[in-house]
Amino acid sequence: MRKAWTATALAGLLLSGMVIGGCDRKETGPETGDTTATAPPVATPVPPAIADPAATKPLLSFAGMDADGDGVVTSAENARASQAVFQATDADKDGTVTLAEMDAARNAIGERAEFSSEKLIEAADADRDAKLTLGEWVANANARFSAFDSDKNDALTLAEWQAGIAAEAPAAPAPSPAPKATAPKR
């Protein structure tokens, strides 16, 4: 958690000067307090993941996030993909993603089984109400982007993305010690 918060603070510093032309908003989309009703519409809507998982799944991949296909994922592309995935996961469109919605969407998509939905929510749930707003969701995605962006040029290469994913993978469980041979009792 501490690492994620540090990354969030850093992302805030790096991005604080960025606005979209004419619009006094960060290029990376919603603020932590934003809801789907108040957030700028930076993402192209996709259908609910439980109805059409094939529409959401690409947005979790490097190529899918790289909307302009130039081989790098910018912070804006990352935020747009993140917002679209949030909207696809919020199946009942009430502006929050619950554990049940997260599970249903991830099961439909077949997303990285090594992480539980509980852990994913916990990692982003700033106000600890066990559900995620769009603001919490995108803030977490921005922090993750920043952590992956090892040369801090506000864009991810495929190599940075792959290294970031690899670093996220839970450590392989330590091999369990060989069972001690018990000396037969005599």
Name the residue nearer to Ca ion (CB basis): 5 or 169: 5
Cα distance from N-terminal residue to C-terminal residue, the chain: 54
Written as one letter, the residue type at 97 is V
**Coil, strand, or helix at residue 156?**
strand
Binding flag, residue 27, Ca ion (CB under 5 A): no
For Ca ion, give the closer residue by CB, 27 or 66: 66
The reply on whether position 122 binds Ca ion by CB under 5 A is no
Element (H, E) at 74: strand 73-74
Choice between 24 and 151, CB closer to Ca ion: 151
From residue 67, alpha-carbon distances to 25, 92, 101, 104 in Å are 20, 26, 26, 26
Which residues share a beta bridge with 156?
73
Given 94, 118, 122, 168, the residue binding Ca ion (CB under 5 A): 94
Residue whose tokens read 């916990």: 122
Residue among 24, 68, 114, 151 that touches Ca ion (CB under 5 A): 68
Q: How far is the CB of 134 from Ca ion (least distance, A)?
A: 10
Here the tokens at position 184 are 């037969």
Minimum CB distance to Ca ion, residue 171 (Å): 27
Site for Ca ion, rule CB under 5 A: 66, 68, 70, 90, 92, 94, 96, 125, 127, 129
